[in-house]
Amino acid sequence: MQSNRLSMVPASLVLATGLIVAGCSNTPKDVTAGWSPEKIYAEARESADSGAWDKAIGMFDKLEGRAAGTVLAQQAQIDKAYAQYKTGDKVQAVATLDRFIRLHPSSPAVDYAIYLKGLVNFNENLGLFSSIIDQDLSERDQKAAKDAYEAFRELTIRFPESKYTPEARQRMTYIVNSLASYEVHVARYYASRGAHVAAINRAQQAISDYPGVPANEEALSILISSYDAMGMTDLRQDAQRVLATNYPQSKFLKGESLKNSKSWWRFW
């Protein structure tokens, strides 16, 4: 009788049970089971060194869990952020670094974490400014550049003696020059289309927000030409006096254009 009762079990239930068992049997095996944290870190570093960044990220994730609360777990978090940066996942890289800085404020690696955070945004910024001269764009997102600047600025203030600080200062100078150059190129864009009020506003913004940078030479020349086009003689003469005082050898004073010359800010 028992065998008869068993035979009456619905086939759908038997099938479902079989699928569950099959699904369990296909669960990927954790090859790191039983590994020491040191072995996991060594494997992760080997993957990173060979450029297998995704695999390295997975290993660093495991290590963070296995060695939680240890210096090795902190190192894994930093290395994971770098690996995320190398894969182009800049959002996750910044999130990982922010978490590290928040959780480990006294870590000796905090200065590097802040530097790396700036570098992630800085390299995104390079793409923005390396191509802008060849494009006619009236607006562009500058958030990455400003975020990079703030990270480098934080590094120089909190860790003035860090080995990463001198380079951070150089990159800050580059960013300021690049942002000013951006404003000038937008001003030129407007001026070339006869939108002289907009051109004047952007040129003035470059001069007021980024005083003393090389791009202001061209910003003044745009002010001169735009004021001239609008018949504002007094303002034109004022701008020309400022240009002559600050840039007495300027090519713009001779009516020449620097548009086709090598960009002054392309030194990185």
Q: Residue 31: its pLDDT value, please?
A: 78
pTM confidence score: 0.73
Distance CA 149, CA 172 (A): 6
DSSP for residue 268:
-
* Confidence bin at 26 (pLDDT 50/70/90): low
What span, in angstroms and rounded, lies between the C-alpha atoms of 257 and 250? 10
What's the N-to-C CA distance of the chain in angstroms?
86
Q: 61: which residues sit within 8 A by CB, 6+ positions away?
A: 80
The predicted structure's pLDDT at residue 266: 40
Long-range CB contacts for residues 248-256, cutoff 8 Å, separation at least 24: 250/217, 250/221, 252/217, 252/218, 252/220, 252/221, 252/224
Are 119 and 84 in contact by the 8 Å Cβ rule? The answer is no
Give the model's pLDDT for residue 141.
Answer: 56
